[in-house]
Chains A and B, each alone.
Chain A
Amino acid sequence: MDHDDLNRLQWRCTRRALLELDLILGKFLAEEFPALDEDDKRVFAELADMEDHDLWPLVNGTEACDDARQGRIVAMLRKSGVRQPL
């Protein structure tokens, strides 16, 4: 991903409707995203494009994720804890 794609993604991760997702996606993008391979990066970007009320239940585990590709990234998001406003 180039500068523009990455910054667009950053905006879409940290200007969400729900604070919960601002915190989790923002931290993931800064800390774990850089080490992903290109396919996983694309999957993450797909997740970030979802509506907040569809994505949040997957990330907090109240709903199961039935897409195997997304499931791996969702599992990483579930584990990533956030203690401070970024």
Chain B
Amino acid sequence: MSIPVRKYDAVIVGAGGAGLRAAIQLSEAGLKTAVLSKVFPTRSHTVAAQGGVSASLGNSEEDHWHWHMYDTVKGSDWLGDQDAIEFMCRKAPEVVVELEHFGMPFDRTDEGKIYQRPFGGHMSNFGEKPVRRACAAADRTGHAMLHALYQRNVRAQTQFFVEWMALDLIRDEEGQVLGVIALEMETGEVVAFHAKATIFATGGAGRIFYSSTNAFINTGDGLGMAARAGIPLEDMEFWQFHPTGVAGAGVLITEGVRGEGGILRNDKGERFMERYAPNAKDLASRDVVSRAMVTEINEGRGCGPNKDFVTLDITHLPPETIMKRLPGIREISIQFAGIDPIKAPIPVVPTCHYQMGGIPTNYKGQVVLEDGATVAGFYAAGECACASVHGANRLGTNSLLDLLVFGKSSGDTVIEDLASMPKAHKELPAGFADRTLARLGRLESQKDGADVHETRLAMQRTMQNHCGVFRFKDKLEEGVRKILDIEKQAAQTQIKDKSKVWNTARVEALEFDNLIEVAKATMICAEARKESRGAHVRDDAPDTPEFPNGRDDKEWLKHSLWYRDGNKLSYKPVTLKPLSVETIALKTRSY
């Protein structure tokens, strides 16, 4: 069966920060560029980012990209690639100032410079003391950023395909990527976007977990498509958890609540953080607080009928402070926990927040295979990509920076690569749409199959219970068995609505095809990595004099690569050599 084909120089999948930044490069260079998005561009999840974007502008005090680089390498627990990290931190001032020129309404100092504030993990002089490096636009940084980038794209005449879902990569026998196959929701039509270059900027996959701060759109489509096309996923065991998501709903309660005096308590009402971090207590770093919370729950001191959460108590704060200093928190607690925090403590659990792993790329945005060879025609940027700048743990505000730097660099690389390519499009291989059409056909004709919603829920619960903040050997092994079982059901999902136009049941089933790939990759990589590093913490790899923090550099200073075919695992070395400076030598990560 043949499907309609549209030809572009470049196709970008994703219109969040990374996709829009890449699109500006391409459209302004005069390339015929299509941007596909499941939602209107300014509905992308980048809008949710509040905290800010980091750059060593030095507007408020002395700062240097080299210090930023040091913090990022340390934050990554030395799993980040130092060439990519140097590249990102050096470029930061340039891309942030550029964004200002695109119209981003940054907060300003009295002298009219971009105002900067401190943020966890960002320090001056190689880890000495906190530095003001985060640039923000009130508490709407992501929103303002996306609007500035979108307007610039409108000016550059980027062509948007809104409410289109990319389904699969087109890859020929030589491994070259020649575009994507996509579904227009409004018509149900399946179309090929034939392109000389394809950039993925599809965001994260936080919805693999039951409890997630991520919006529903984060279903890891880019990762699923790459995996189905035979491309490995890198470092998928590393997920950052935020300590205070509202139990159940997952909505984020900002760190500011503990900053204002909020206290975490167990079922006895005990302020348990005093035992885990006698100095910093409730303000200890995210991973320390999250693990303490899980330990309390695992040891039977959780709250509620199922003893499965702890509480964040602000009942001792004057109501005026809550209303004035913590706007929105009372409303969130009432709407998502059913309690008024002036009168009762808020139920919270560590909640999945950010995906460090993804599609393996270099700092130019090119997708790279295990042997270092690039995949011709294929690029990725943003949360779906693993450059790897975040390694085993991301620093706050470095993600928005990642979008700007690698969005731009992937665009620049496409322009360069296309200059040396033949003018004509390489021919599409015979039967290029067969596998996608077979997948759609299977969904249409499936009988006695599994319900999408229930199967997704089973996956999310399994991920949450077996592969959460704190990981245990037995639970991981059992988790692998369970997730492979769920995969069998995922291959037999069934939908009732068979209509062509606006069939959201079909779209959700197709999203689930991607989630399950990410869930498998995560569970299998986590079970295999027998050390603790950054966000991956195992009970059987504790802090010892031989292995501080449980990290084992001799065995495990390497990136994981998971292949969908046979769930094969492989590893590749971490790039310890930066571009121009000395290697930041291995050290124990402590703050």
Contact = CB atoms under 8 A, between A and B. Distances in A.
A51 B212 CA distance: 22
A63 to B, nearest CB: 10
B336 A62 contact: no
Given A18-B48, A60-B332, A11 B185 contact: yes
Nearest to B329: A60
B42 interface: yes
A18 B504 contact: no
Interface string B353-376: 000000000000000000000000
Contacts of B576: none
Given A20-B251, A60-B332, A84-B249, A7 B502 contact: yes
Nearest to A49: B40
B499 A15 contact: no
Nearest to A54: B143
Interface stretch (B55-63, B213-221, B416-424, B474-482): B213-221
Contacts of A52: 43, 47, 143
Contact of B163 (A11, A14, A22): A11
Interface string B298-332: 00000000000000000000000000000110011
A14 B216 contact: yes
A84 B185 CA distance: 27
Interface string A51-84: 1110000001110000000000000001011111
A17 B150 CA distance: 15
B249 A15 contact: no
Tell me whether chain B's interface is mostly helix, strand or loop, or mixed: loop
Contact of A8 (B211, B335, B502): B502
Contacts of A81: 334-336, 338
B331 A17 contact: no
Contact of A15 (B39, B186, B503): B39
A80 B338 CA distance: 10
Contacts of B499: 3
A52 B252 CA distance: 16
Chain A: interface size category: 20 to 34
B44 interface: yes
Interface residues on B, range: 35 or more
Nearest to A77: B335
A4 interface: yes
A84 B251 CA distance: 10
B502 A83 contact: no
Contact of A4 (B43, B210, B502): B502
A59 to B, nearest CB: 8
Given A11-B163, A85-B210, A19 B328 contact: no
Contacts of A41: none
Contacts of B503: 7
A19 B48 contact: yes
Interface in B491-514: 499, 501-504, 507
B163 A17 contact: no
Given A11-B185, A19-B48, A61-B331, A85 B250 contact: yes
B48 A10 contact: no
Contact of A23 (B251, B334, B338): B251
B501 A15 contact: no
- Report which residue of A4, A10, A19 has the largest number of chain B beta carbons within 10 angstroms of its beta carbon: A19
Contacts of B515: none
Nearest to A14: B216
B327 A20 contact: no
A33 to B, nearest CB: 15
A64 to B, nearest CB: 13
B45 interface: yes
A19 B335 contact: no
Given A15-B215, A16-B215, A17-B47, 14 more contacts: A4-B502, A15-B38, A15-B43, A16-B217, A19-B48, A19-B213, A19-B214, A19-B215, A20-B336, A23-B336, A51-B143, A60-B328, A60-B332, A82-B249
The 7 A-B pairs with the shortest beta carbon distances in the complex, nearest first, are A17-B47, A60-B331, A7-B502, A4-B502, A19-B215, A22-B216, A15-B217
Interface of A: 3-4, 7-8, 10-12, 14-20, 22-24, 26, 51-53, 60-62, 78, 80-86
12 contacts: A8-B185, A15-B39, A16-B215, A19-B48, A19-B214, A19-B249, A62-B328, A81-B338, A83-B337, A85-B212, A85-B249, A85-B250
